[in-house]
Chain A
């Protein structure tokens, strides 16, 4: 009975500077040449496009972050087809994220880099982390990011010949086009009860 549950939940700090992870985050950021930010126990180290692969090599070899958790992107866009628009104007960009961890102490670092949404190109991480293969394929079809040096950038989920990149904010959610959400139109009208005068409702085609 080491700690009460309330303590474990209360690890949230309002001041990023005071966060216990800040020191480690700064150390990683210094080594990979980026800037660190700790938000809600999540370390995000932003690096430039050019040092993307090198940053991963450093993180893997110097900090023992050998565990490749995931890779994905966020489409920061002021014009959204689905969901709520952002409250503040942002710089339009694709933020590529990759989460790395170690398998001893439980440290976790998210590396991030900004890509141009028009022509997002970045070297592939497959040589550094073999597991990046599928994640990059996913990011490729979902966001249209090109990973240079990837052995097989084929579609992973979507059928061949699928047009567009579904997780981009500019990609409409087609079901929502047909039926807006939420709203009263979402409730389908109940089928009308067959009245005694019209016994032929069972087969309207005939």
Chain B
């Protein structure tokens, strides 16, 4: 009796399908998990090492800020928006305060604008350094964490010396910035300004930051395994990125030279020279590298700003009781995580009628079901981490 090859194959396949009847496993990653940056939960269907249908479950940190803001006055809201993306709390205040100032038609003194700009860029550096710290850890390398966080500490100390807060500075006032408490050369309230050695120390810190960037690049970018783990992993084409609303370094890594600092004039970025860093492939590696380069660009901006910081008032004339006139506006800013914007609807009262908070991480994270389709389990973590989200920024 002879069996032709087709039958043979059929038989063997039949046998295999009986033997290897497998069942997909549903794996709950989070909400308590070492690499979900807080309380994100992923429900992944996995077949061996491959994941299908990964659904993020969010909302564990929803604090209802949009609702709370409706019962808060404008100066109180800056306190709340600090806590949206706590890794770069300072940067969250800017678009909100600019939106309120826009409706009030207040002109902010140049010195206050420069201080805002310097501190925003510092917040960006500290946020990116957290990414520099956490991302290699997600790939299994623990050491870069300590180098990056050590440098971040220095930036946070400078931020603290001005604002009094490391994470939640709450430093902006409508029409300017809060005079640094007791830090100026005299005790007169009108002349209280930046701490006396802040400018020179920031200059040094930024000079040092270039060295740190080189060191991080040596440590991480020179590592073959990191390259093998990130190159070509989690590629996001620019059209997909835009449709999902990816912004900031995640969008630029995909190749779009789109930086709101160059487009929106919410702070005097036009005065400075800096490059918009873009990637080419939109993979995890590009997202990492874009952020590293952005630290360098931010350090450059800070140095230029400190060189050219104008003197003058810190606060424009605003009424004691701040009422924002009727109107609607959307102000967006380039935050470390991406586009952060506030759609402010005012009815001329002490507080907004409605404040829509557009946070970067929410949109950045919404691409996960698309990006994680059919990837390996280790890549789930690699891709998720490369999006650099903060759960407070997702859930608001």
**What is the bound-complex CA distance between A9 and B113, given in angstroms?**
10
Are A40 and B102 also in contact (CB < 8 A) when A9-B108, A157-B59 are? yes
Interface class of chain A by DSSP: loop
CB contacts under 8 Å to B, within A58-98, are 66-70, 72, 74-75, 82-84, 86-87, 97
A103 beta carbon closer than 8 Å to chain B: yes
**Residue of B64, B353, B367 with most chain A CB atoms under a 10 A cut-off:** B353
- The segment from B19-27, B141-149, B224-232, B340-348 found at the interface with A is B340-348
**What is the bound-complex CA distance between A158 and B240, given in angstroms?**
28
- The segment from A27-35, A114-122, A128-136, A188-196 found at the interface with B is A128-136
A106 beta carbon closer than 8 Å to chain B: yes
**What is the bound-complex CA distance between A11 and B264, given in angstroms?**
11
A167 contact set on B, CB distance < 8 A: 66-67
Give the A-binding residues of B (Cβ under 8 A): 58-59, 62, 64, 66-68, 70-71, 101-103, 105, 107-108, 110, 113-114, 238-240, 242-245, 247, 251, 256, 258, 260, 262-268, 270-271, 308, 326-330, 332, 339, 341, 343, 345, 347-351, 353-354, 356, 358, 362-363, 366-367, 370, 395
Contact yes or no, A103 B258, CB < 8 A? yes
The listed residue (A10, A70, A159) touching B341 by CB distance below 8 A is A70
A70 contact set on B, CB distance < 8 A: 245, 341, 343, 356, 358, 363
Contact yes or no, A39 B328, CB < 8 A? yes
B245 CB, nearest partner CB in chain A, Å: 4
**What is the bound-complex CA distance between A8 and B271, given in angstroms?**
10
**What is the bound-complex CA distance between A72 and B67, given in angstroms?**
13
Give the B-binding residues of A (Cβ under 8 A): 1-6, 8-12, 39-42, 44, 66-70, 72, 74-75, 82-84, 86-87, 97, 99, 103-106, 108, 110, 129-131, 133-135, 142, 155-159, 166-167, 171, 173, 176, 181
B347 contact set on A, CB distance < 8 A: 84, 86-87
**What is the bound-complex CA distance between A5 and B98, given in angstroms?**
13
Q: How many A-B residue pairs have CB under 8 A?
A: 161
Are A82 and B64 also in contact (CB < 8 A) when A2-B271, A12-B105, A66-B242 are? no
Contact yes or no, A11 B265, CB < 8 A? yes
Contact yes or no, B270 A8, CB < 8 A? yes
A140 CB, nearest partner CB in chain B, Å: 13
The listed residue (A10, A69, A157) touching B339 by CB distance below 8 A is A69
A72 contact set on B, CB distance < 8 A: 343, 356
The listed residue (A1, A83, A106) touching B353 by CB distance below 8 A is A83
**What is the bound-complex CA distance between A12 and B354, given in angstroms?**
21
B52 CB, nearest partner CB in chain A, Å: 16
Contact yes or no, A166 B59, CB < 8 A? no
**What is the bound-complex CA distance between A68 and B258, given in angstroms?**
14
Contact yes or no, B328 A44, CB < 8 A? yes
Contact yes or no, B264 A106, CB < 8 A? yes
Contact yes or no, B108 A104, CB < 8 A? no
